[in-house]
Structure formats: C-alpha cells, structure tokens
C-alpha cells in the first residue's frame, strides 16, 4: 500500500440547508478511529511550520475548518502535500507518519482529531531519529 493510500483524503458530507452549513464528523464512522482528543491551531502565518513530528501510536485527522493550510506527509520514502482548503475535507494520518503543517492563511483554523490523549513520550520530534526507526 503506498503512502497516499495509507493517508487518504476524507470528504465529509455537507448537511447544511438555507440556515447555513453543517458538517458532522463521527469517530469510528466518518473517520477510522474513536476520537479521544481534539485541538486546533490558529494564529499561525505563512512563515510558521507546525507539527514536525511523527507519533508512535496516535492516529490523526486534520481539517482546516476555516482558511487553508498545507500538510507535508512522508514516511521517509514517499512524500506528498495536501492542500487543506475546504472545511468538508480532511486527511487521515496513521501512526509513524511524519507531518509538517505550514502555509497557514491569516484566517486558518486547523482542527486536529486524535485517537489518543496526549502523551509526549510517543512523539518522535527528530527527523533523523524517525528515519532510523523507519528502516
């Protein structure tokens, strides 16, 4: 399975009507895990790079609910970039995949859904260490 197949783009249904937009995301249904943690990134600009890590156990879905950003995804062999530019789409990132989020628009709000509670010990923050573990 190649990297794009392991990290698919997810498209969520827009259930809105004349009153406005509504997007529902349910853990275990719309995304492939139960949600244990939710956080969001805002106030970054196009010069900031966030992420810069891989997780040993956590699964993530990243969604720009406002504005836009980019996510560089790599496993050390393959790499691709996702433009998160619609609130009805996200990208799934399984464990042991390196991610860099960048090119934040001024109005960007990047929503992150995670399968685990925060545990700093499961983060790999050094890219060279990550590459060694992936060999």
pLDDT of residue 98: 98
Distance (Å, whole) CA 89 – CA 28: 16
Q: Of residues 53, 70, 72, 86, which has the active-site annotation? A: 53
Distance (Å, whole) CA 52 – CA 125: 6
pTM (two decimals):
0.95
Whether 53 sits among the annotated catalytic residues: the reply is yes
pLDDT of residue 16: 83
Domain definitions of the chain by residue range = 3-134
Q: Is 58 exposed, middle or buried, given 0-12, 13-18 or 19+ CB atoms closer than 10 A?
A: buried
Low-confidence stretches of the chain (pLDDT < 50) are none
**Assigned CATH for 3-134:** 2.60.120.10
């Amino acid at each position: 399975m190649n990297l794009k197949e392991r990290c698919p783009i997810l498209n969520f249904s827009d259930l809105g009507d004349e009153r406005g937009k509504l997007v529902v995301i349910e853990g275990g249904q719309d995304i492939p895990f139960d949600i244990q943690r939710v956080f969001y990134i805002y106030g970054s600009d196009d010069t900031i790079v966030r992420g810069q890590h891989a997780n040993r156990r956590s699964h993530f879905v990243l969604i720009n609910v406002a504005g836009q950003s980019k996510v560089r995804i790599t496993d050390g062999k393959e790499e691709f970039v996702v433009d998160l530019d619609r609130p009805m789409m996200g990208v799934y990132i399984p464990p042991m995949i390196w991610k860099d989020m960048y090119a934040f628009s001024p109005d960007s709000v990047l929503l992150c859904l995670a399968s685990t509670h925060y545990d700093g010990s499961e983060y790999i923050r050094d890219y060279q260490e990550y590459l060694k573990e992936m060999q």
